[in-house]
Amino acid sequence: MNELYWLDLSNNKLTGQIPECVKQISYLDLSNNELEEAAPTGKKHSTALVKVAIPTGKSHSTVVIKVLGAVAVVAVFIVCFLVFGVLWIRNLHNREEFKQTFRKILQKVEHPRIAHEELLAATNRFHNSNLLSTNSFGSVYKGFLADGTRVAVKVLNLMHEQSHKIFRAECKVLQKARHRNLARIITTCSTIHIKALIFEYFSNGSLEKYLYQSSCRMGLRTLLNIAIDVAHAVEYLHYDCFVQIVHCDIKPSNVLLDESMTAHLSDFGISRLMGRITANSVTSTIDLKGSVGYIAPEYGLNGMMSPRGDVFSYGILLLEMLTRRRPTDDMFDGDLSLHSWVKRAFPERVAEVVDTSLLMEGASKETEECLISLMRLGLLCSSDSPEARPTMRDVSSLLKNIQQDFNPDTSSSIKLKPTISNLVCDRGAITICEEASDTQSSTF
């Protein structure tokens, strides 16, 4: 056996004792067997080469492989950690800016509800001195939140059978609708005792105040700007919002004015969400579809609501702004309405129906042309036939043209060319004529 230099008997399930002759082999591997004694540990059998047989032991090569594998895993982990650490440090500033921006977005989109007790404190327990307006749907109060923010609190009348539907409808619209000419909601309060929406406060109140309070007046330039603001708001609802929205209640009391007289459309309690840019109408689930005098004629006939109904309401609003006459005025009875009254005077006798305060900036030819163009547009929008009305996108475009041609600070004897086609009376209906008249009689 002395001539045998290398013997590998590992993994053979050998049992019993190791013979003495076998122990003399220089390099002997008896690992992973069931022998009763260990392999020799003398100088001839280096532990680096000889794997001894231990009943429950593991081979040295297996241990080495596992150790090397563990070291490799740790090394990879350390490298990855260092790489991500460097990237994180490099982008730390940008990450903080992103977090701040994200928080601001969440604050705007997710409105945290306010407690009933906070509303009581903000409005002095809804004291009459803080009452701004009231109707059958509820009341609006001014107040201050704990952080000093001045707000308008709209408290719904829970006795009204549609109050819960109105609250949900308005929340659904205002949660996602974002436009500079829409009233911005700050937060809400909803319990079994109260349903309230908290809006930003508008210091100049509603357009209704400027139309009918003797202490408040506005010139033609301001009126034109407000008309454009409201048109932009309705155009956004019809075309550019997350879903097409029909407001259903466009009137002066729902147009709010901030400190710079910028108009903001409010009150979406009976608005309707529709499929994006569709010509189809939708049946209202709320009995009231608007306010008397501003409701489109087709609503009363078939109960179907559409964007064209908003165009009708906008046309009535525009005529009301120009004449300072409510569509529900006592003078309008029987067949006489605000629309027909203005139509009879248009265009030669518009001075008989226009609000004289609009002439404060001077009765120039430009002023005359602007007034006639606005009345023309108001009549077109409030046509009885939905098909005869322009879209709100068309209305915004026409108003922009009117504004560009209107210069109240310039007195000129030269007649400006009309910016939109003349409207002429044809068989009792307002239609668009392709030819524009070069001259018109002036009654100013």
Residues annotated catalytic, as ranges? 249
CA distance 338 to 344: 10
Name the region of 273 (left: φ>0; alpha: ψ -120 to 50; beta: rest): beta
Alpha helix stretches (DSSP H) within 45-185: 60-90, 92-109, 116-122, 163-176
Extended strands (E) in 21-161: 27-29, 34-35, 131-135, 138-144, 150-156
Strand partners, 321: none
Contact between 30 and 18 (Cβ < 8 Å): yes
Which one, of 221, 229, 224, lies nearest residue 180 by Cα? 229
As beta bridge partners, residue 150 has 144
Specify the 3-state DSSP secondary structure of 188: strand
**CA–CA distance, 199 with 187 (Å, rounded to integer):** 7
DSSP SS3 for 29:
strand
CA dihedral 122, 126, 129, 131 (to 10 degrees): 100
Q: What span, in angstroms and rounded, lies between the C-alpha atoms of 242 and 123?
A: 33
- Is the preceding peptide bond at 327 cis, omega within 30 degrees of 0? no
CA–chain centroid gap for 232, Å, is 15
d(CA 188, CA 379): 39
Are the C-beta atoms of 50 and 33 separated by less than 8 Å?
no
Q: How far apart are the first and last CA of the chain?
A: 135
The partner residues of 197 in beta bridges, in order of sequence, read: 154, 188
Gap between the Cα atoms of 75 and 96, Å rounded: 31
C-alpha span between 426 and 443 (Å, rounded): 23
22, with CB counted inside 10 A (0-12, 13-18, 19+), is middle
